Amino acid sequence: MEMSEIPFTTTDWSGVEPEAHPGITGQALWRTQKFGAIRVRMVEYSPGYLADHWCLKGHVLLCLEGELHTELEDGRRFILYPGMSYQVADQAEPHRSSTPTGAKLFIVD
Residue 63 falls inside a structural domain: yes
Render pLDDT for 73-103 as a digit per residue (tens, 0 to 9). 999 999 999 999 999 999 999 999 999 999 9
**Do the beta carbons of residue 58 and residue 38 sit within 8 Å?**
no
Residue 78 falls inside a structural domain: yes
CATH code of the domain covering residue 90: 2.60.120.10
Number of separate domains in the chain = 1
Prediction pTM value: 0.92
**Do the beta carbons of residue 26 and residue 19 sit within 8 Å?**
no
Give whole-number Cα distances, 102 to 28, 34, 77, 82, in Å.
Answer: 10, 25, 17, 12
Residue 48 falls inside a structural domain: yes
The range of the structural domain enclosing residue 81 comes to: 18-108
At residue 1 the predicted structure's pLDDT band, cuts being 50, 70 and 90, is low
Residue 59 falls inside a structural domain: yes
What is the DSSP secondary-structure string of 9-29?
Answer: ----GGGSPPEEEE-SBSEEE
Residue 1 falls inside a structural domain: no
* pLDDT the model gives residue 55: 95
